[in-house]
Amino acid sequence: MSTKDYLEKDYYKVLGVPKTAAADEIKQSYRKLARKYHPDANKGDRKAEERFKEISEAYNTLSDEKKRKEYDEARSLFGGGFRVPGAGGRPGTAGTGAGGFGGFDLGDLFGGAEAGQGGLGDLLGGVFRNRGGGGTGTQARPRRGADVETETTLSFGDAVDGTTVPLHLTGDGPCPVCHGTGAKAGTVPKVCPTCEGTGQSSRNLGNFAFSEPCKTCRGRGLVVEDPCASCNGSGHATSTRTIQARIPAGVNDGQRIKLRGKGAPGERGGPAGDLYVRVHVTPHPVFGRSGGNLTVTVPVTVPEAALGSEIKVPSHRGVPVTVRIPAGTPNGRTFRVRGKGVRRSDGTYGDLLVTVEVMVPKNVGTKGRKALEDLREATAGEDPREELLQRAKET
């Protein structure tokens, strides 16, 4: 029997007797339980077998006067004299458990090797709870659902304007056959006899409480005797649900949107997790995005750029807007049309950025050719590269 067993197992509880029970009382209770859980009387029932082992183990210790004394001492020692170095000796401030037992070798005290080999540190690191901090019962508390991540692809226009999209989410949900109870149709799960429904097995040792998920029910607090065939008693199933997700106006390609409370449902009344939607936006053949602004490139003729003009420019989901091009506009200049961009969260709009691209005519015809030759003559002597050549000589 190891120290760890002594600390983890409440033999009195196993046998259903008080700590002050006399030897006779222990024996009586043991016989009654042993008859009930004996493997011969419970053929093939593994739970009964486990229980029988527990009962035998408890009786082995408590029926032996010397072992019982050792057991009682081990547990009472942890109750009273326990101190965590570095915590000022105040009970109830155990932080990490691991490494906190310098100079306190339980292996020496109980003559067992296990505690001295870090087994105890592991045990305490995992299940040690500060009673003052309300550490017990974490399993039975409401638990927030998991965050879920998914993605969706939007058209350019829907990304600009915002939209509502159906999202198909696959996740772990309640089994539809047993509605999550895990029990076969017509039966209901029973309150776990080991933990009496708390889902925790905990032992209070003086200033501290040890707690861990109940082994019988794995922390659920309920046991299923006749399991649902569909989920094998787990109560869980992979489920698909569809939600309508509101995508705000102005999302960018690759952006992640958080939809609060649309993730996995919580457990035991806990809140649902959040849903994160990664948005992909398909490009538009004409418009581009630059933050809250829309961009568009518009071809203009040489005379339009040189002489100035008013041109019609497409706008997103609206009538074309007129942009005035001043005389002498160079290729690549960008004009701003206010309020024709993307709707912002405050209700205002970004701008439409219009970039002109001067088109050089390929076929101009006889009249056009004459005009261009006249232009050449008119601008003879002007060398647009003169300054460039000059500056290239510098340094």
Name the E strands within 87-207: 128-130, 148-154, 163-174, 190-191, 200-205
Q: Which amino acid is at 151?
A: E
Select the residue interacting with Zn ion from 17, 115, 167, 217 (CB under 5 A).
217
Please tell me the count of residues contacting Zn ion according to CB under 5 A: 12
Distance of CA 253 to the CA centre of its chain: 23
The verdict on 228 binding Zn ion (CB under 5 A) reads yes
The verdict on 214 binding Zn ion (CB under 5 A) reads yes
Please identify, using beta-carbon distances, which residue of 178 and 323 lies nearer to Zn ion: 178
CB of 31 to Zn ion, least distance (A): 25
What sign results for the dihedral spanned by CA atoms 116, 117, 121, 127? negative
CB of 141 to Zn ion, least distance (A): 15
d(CA 335, CA 349): 16
d(CA 337, CA 299): 16
CB of 75 to Zn ion, least distance (A): 21
Please identify, using beta-carbon distances, which residue of 55 and 167 lies nearer to Zn ion: 55
CB of 48 to Zn ion, least distance (A): 16
Select the residue interacting with Zn ion from 42, 230, 293, 295 (CB under 5 A).
230
CB of 187 to Zn ion, least distance (A): 11
* The one segment of 79-87, 140-148, 185-193, 378-386 that binds Zn ion by CB under 5 A: 185-193
What sign results for the dihedral spanned by CA atoms 160, 163, 169, 173? positive
User: What is the three-state SS of 210-277?
Assistant: EEEECCCCCCCCEECCCECCCCCCCCEEEEEEEEEEEECCCCCCCCEEEECCCCCCCECCCCCCCEEE
d(CA 115, CA 113): 6
The verdict on 177 binding Zn ion (CB under 5 A) reads yes
Binding map of Zn ion across residues 108-137, x = CB under 5 A, - = no contact? ------------------------------
CB of 47 to Zn ion, least distance (A): 11
Residues forming the site for Zn ion (CB under 5 A): 175, 177-178, 192, 194-195, 214, 216-217, 228, 230-231
